[in-house]
Amino acid sequence: MWWTVARREMSVKIRDRSLLVSLIIVLVIVAVSVGVSLITSGTSDDKPTSVAVTDDAGAAIVAQAQKMAQQTGERQILETVRTTSLEQGREVVTDEKAKLVLHHEDGTWHLESGDEPPSVTSGAGQLIAKAVEARATADLAQKAGVDPQQAVADGTVLPGTVDPGQADNWRDTVATFMGVGFAVVYMFTMMFFGNGIAASVVEEKQSRIVEILLACIPARQLLAGKIIGNTILAAGLMLILLVLGCVGVSFTPAADLLGTIAAPTAWFIVFFIVGFLSLACLWAAAGALASRTEDLQSTSMPLVMIVMIAYVFGIQAAQNHGVSAVVASYVPVASAIAMPTRVATGGAAWWEVVVSILISVLFSALTIWGGERIYRRSVLKTGGKVKLRVAWRSTDVVA
């Protein structure tokens, strides 16, 4: 029986114009963002990428990389910045007079940037890596009895940073943006579907349709159908938003970040589902406490406050990455934002994620039990808003 109710909830919501309008708005925002990124990236490719080198060998590699770019039709432009030492080369990068510094050390070529490790699978880094490989291959053709391990080292480019601490800062920045994104998506989805559950319950109660429904189906089955149907829709909308975001990122210069954001995003989906279940029954209870649609604002206010507190707490945790983030990652509801953000920073061990999930599951079990109790004891009470204490202690229970 509950599946019949769930299917009805999903079919009604899917045809809801407000949901479709919201989804279209999000699609337009994503499309515009991707378009702007593509235009920006397209114009930036025409600007030369300055590479600081410390000797003639480095200059020859940059020249070879530029030649390879012209041969393959790539729009990447490389220019050489001559320096007399590695220290001067790194200083040039720090002063933003060059974007990269290429140098040979301990038998291996190193390519460094000032803010984050450069990619050797795309852009200028890929061209330089191919040029190094070509140089090593040419040298091997002229050598006899060369050490194979040294030959591999000669053809390898190791990404790095002028300031190793900048790599951690870069990761924290990515985690901050992810945390803010998680918080916004979480609040939007939770408020939209949570209010939808409460409104559905109070509409059925106000029109007395719930009396007919309860004559045909047990209250627990009716409530379970509502919760499961809306959870499936909420999770589906969440997946659509996240997939669209990842697809959009894949068309931008930040495509290399997809591997970094995959695990936090997956954990966010898990935490969201558990968190949504923990509040869904309470939203239904809020609807059951109201006798009219006008009462819904006051009965659902505590839940709105919980979602807003979790949103603010999650935003602060995403920006600080400190003690507040650790605390928030173990607090039910807020952990749906804080823990995936900590995973993105690399500051959460696997067992911390498991413990946080278990806490959220226990909290969900408690709220489901409490919400179901209030729903069954107040859904048939009319004549005004039902007080929480009265509903909790009431013995007038529907099956």
Give 86-143 pLDDT, tens digit per residue: 888 888 888 888 889 998 888 788 888 877 778 776 778 888 888 888 777 767 756 6
Count other C-beta atoms under 10 Å from residue 77's C-beta: 15
Question: For the chain, what are the domain ranges?
Answer: 2-36+168-393, 46-163
Region 5-34: mean pLDDT is 77
Region 49-61: mean pLDDT is 89
Position with higher pLDDT, 289 vs 77: 289
From 74, 159, 148, select the one nearest 114 (Cα to Cα): 159
At CA 380, angle to CA 379 and CA 384, rounded to 5? 85
Do the beta carbons of residue 193 and residue 272 sit within 8 Å? Answer: no
Q: Could you give the percent of the chain with pLDDT greater than 70?
A: 81
Banded pLDDT at 360 (limits 50, 70, 90): very high
What's the rounded Cα separation, in Å, for the pair 170 and 174?
6
Residue 40's pLDDT is 54
Between β-strands 49-53 and 100-105, what pairing exists: parallel, antiparallel or unpaired? parallel
3-state secondary structure of 140: helix
Residue 43's pLDDT is 47
Position with higher pLDDT, 282 vs 14: 282
Between β-strands 78-82 and 49-53, what pairing exists: parallel, antiparallel or unpaired? parallel
Count other C-beta atoms under 10 Å from residue 301's C-beta: 11
As a whole number of angstroms, the longest Cα–Cα distance in the chain is 97
Region 237-247: mean pLDDT is 79
Residue 147's pLDDT is 54
- Range in 17-31, 103-117, 124-138, 285-299 the model is least confident about: 17-31
Region 27-37: mean pLDDT is 63
What's the rounded Cα separation, in Å, for the pair 350 and 333?
19
What's the rounded Cα separation, in Å, for the pair 152 and 264?
34
3-state secondary structure of 349: coil
Residue 117's pLDDT is 79
User: How far is residue 217 CA from its own chain's centroid?
Assistant: 39
Banded pLDDT at 152 (limits 50, 70, 90): very low
The pLDDT mean for the chain works out to 81
What's the rounded Cα separation, in Å, for the pair 153 and 149?
6
Residue 179's pLDDT is 79
User: How far is residue 312 CA from its own chain's centroid?
Assistant: 17
- Range in 40-44, 98-102, 174-178 the model is least confident about: 40-44
H helix runs in the chain, sequence order: 2-14, 17-44, 56-72, 86-94, 123-142, 148-154, 165-206, 209-216, 219-250, 258-289, 296-299, 301-320, 323-328, 335-345, 350-378, 388-393
User: How far is residue 278 CA from its own chain's centroid?
Assistant: 21
Q: Using the CB atoms, write b or e for 322-335: b if 16+ within 10 Å.
A: eeebbebbebbbbb
Residue 107 φ/ψ region, left for φ over 0, alpha for ψ in the -120 to 50 degree band, beta for the rest: left
For residue 334, list its beta bridge partners: none
What's the rounded Cα separation, in Å, for the pair 292 and 298?
11
Residue 150 has pLDDT above 60, yes or no: no
User: Which CATH code is given to the segment(s) 46-163?
Assistant: 3.40.190
Banded pLDDT at 352 (limits 50, 70, 90): very high
Amino acid at 3: W
Region 353-374: mean pLDDT is 94
Position with higher pLDDT, 315 vs 225: 225
What's the rounded Cα separation, in Å, for the pair 367 and 275?
10
Q: What are the CB-based long-range contacts (under 8 Å, 24+) for 57-65?
A: 57/104, 58/102, 58/103, 58/104, 60/135, 61/102, 61/109, 61/128, 61/131, 61/132, 61/135, 62/102, 62/128, 62/131, 64/131, 64/134, 64/135, 65/124, 65/127, 65/128, 65/130, 65/131
Banded pLDDT at 211 (limits 50, 70, 90): confident
